[in-house]
Structure 1
């Protein structure tokens, strides 16, 4: 009798061996892919999850993405995803699929050079307008920032000054989304950045009052007395960007025993971390950060 070969599902870049791992690293995009290509059912079969196998088999393969994901969330009891989060994620997938279809059209058809240039500029302009139309939706803004980096970095490089001050007025939350992408940061923050823009970032985005006003529910705020101990705030797999910490408080990447960063290291620099640990002896001090 042939031996059953067990394999892992890769969800959000993590190998998953059991239902608990799936719950922890549940990725809507990955789960849709594995559902469509049948790999999810194969995994459930070889891992011996008979009940889940029957439930997944019963899902209509012709149903829309939201229906399929909603059913999978129920089957695998993923408590961290609600309907609004599923809808946002599905919206991003549809948007990126449309962009990929457009890219495929360009590859299949030999458009005239001028037409390509005109379409490229139009695409960039449309993307900026899409940010303005979705100025309060951080999930969409992050997807737009990824698309800008992949498809329109050249135009961003030519237009970064005008773009910053345009979005500062029309969609300031989009500025935070763009600053989560490493390729863009040098234009707006740090020693290499345009001095006028960097000064504006510090005064118009990175004060505690402005960050709270612009980011709203997308800003995470911690007020905690840690008794001079390191307090774990986020797990290592959570990518985040620190907006501000108070003097006399310290932070570090999760699990890093040799790191200890203070407010002069972090503030005005939007330092990115893999997870977060926090040390504070004042319950009124604030740590402000956002996930990237």
Structure 2
């Protein structure tokens, strides 16, 4: 009798051996991929998870991606994800899938060089317009920022000055989405950035009331007296960007015992963190951040 060979699922770059690990590292993108290619069923079968195997096997593959993910979340009892989280994530995946299909068609048609250049510029302009049309949808704006980095970085580099001041007026939330991408940050913030742009970021985007107005529900606000102790705000796997903290309060990456960053270290710099811990002695002080 042939020996059953067990294997791991790779979820969010972690090798998963059991249901506990699957729940802990549940990745919507990876789970959809394994569901569609049948690897999830094979993994459940060789691991002997008969109940979950039956549940996954009964899911209709013709369902919308969101409905499939909702079923997978129920089957594996992933309590951390709600319908809003799923809708945002699936929206990004659908958008990137559509872009992949368009790119495949684009390559197959082998347009003339002039048409390729024209289409490249047109694609960039259409992407900017798409940001403006969806200026309140952070999930789509982040997806657009990813696409801009992958496909139009050269045009962004040439156009970053005009683009910034266009978006300040037409879609300021898009600027925050773009600044979640490391490749773009040096053009708009930091010592190497254009002085006029960086000054505008500080006064028109990062001032507390303006950041609240622009980001709305995408801004997370913490008001907590931690009694001089480090209080865990977000787990290590949550990527985020701190907008501002009050002088006398401190933040650090989750689980980093040697780190202690104050307002001079993070304010006006949009520092990115892996998880977050917070130290504050005044319950009226606000910590402002957004997920990346």
Instruction: Say yes or no: TM over 0.5.
Output: yes
In 2: Cα distance, 1:279 partner to 1:88 partner: 31
- Separation (CA, whole Å) in 1 of partners of 2:223 and 2:89: 30
User: Structure 1, unaligned stretches of length 5 or more?
Assistant: none
Q: Distance in 2 between matches of 1:66 and 1:126?
A: 26
Find the aligned partners of 1:5 and 1:206 in 2 and give their Cα distance: 54
**Does 2:95 match 1:90?**
no
The offset of 1:130, in angstroms, is 0.8
Q: Deviations over 1:17-60 (max 9, x none)?
A: 22222223222221111011111011111222111111111112
The CA deviation at 1:71 is 1.5
Residue-by-residue CA offset, 1:184-240 (whole Å, 9 max, x unaligned): 001100111111110110011111111111111111111111111111111111111
Does the residue aligned with 1:183 lie in a helix, a strand or coil?
helix
State the shift of 1:168 in Å.
Answer: 1.0
Scaled by the length of structure 1, what TM-score is found?
Answer: 0.96
Give the corresponding residue for 1:285: 285
Pairwise CA distance, 1:106: 2.8
Q: Residue in 1 aligned with 2:268? A: 268
Match of 1:189 in 2: 189
Mapping of residues 83-232 of structure 1, within 5 Å? 83-232=83-232
Conservation of the 8 A alpha-carbon contact between 2:91 and 2:139: no
Which range is displaced more, 64-73 or 36-45? 64-73
What's the counterpart of residue 243 of structure 1? 243
Shift of 1:131: 0.8
Partner of 2:26: 26
Measured in 2, the distance between the counterparts of 1:143 and 1:171 equals 15
Measure the CA separation in 2 of the matches of 1:281 and 1:9: 44
After superposition, the Cα gap between the structure-2 partners of 1:254 and 1:87, relative to the gap in structure 1 and judged at 3 Å, is closer
> Can you give the 5+ residue segments of structure 2 that lack an aligned partner in the other structure?
none
- The whole-number CA distance in structure 2 between the counterparts of 1:88 and 1:291 is 12
DSSP-derived class of the 1:165 partner: helix
Q: Is residue 6 of structure 1 aligned with residue 6 of structure 2?
A: yes
Greater mean alpha carbon deviation, residues 72-81 or residues 255-264: 72-81
Count of matched residue pairs: 292
Alpha-carbon distance in structure 2 between the residues aligned to 1:64 and 1:255: 38
Name which of structure 1's ranges 72-81 and 246-255 shifts more when overlaid on structure 2: 72-81
Give the Å deviation of 1:176.
Answer: 0.3
Rounded to whole Å, the distance in 2 between the matches of 1:155 and 1:14 is: 35
- The RMSD of aligned alpha carbons is 1.4
CA distance in 2, matches of 1:63, 1:254: 38
1:211–1:33 Cα change, 3 Å: same
- CA offset at residue 162 of structure 1? 1.0
CA distance in 2, matches of 1:106, 1:35: 28
Deviation at residue 124 of structure 1 after TM alignment? 0.5
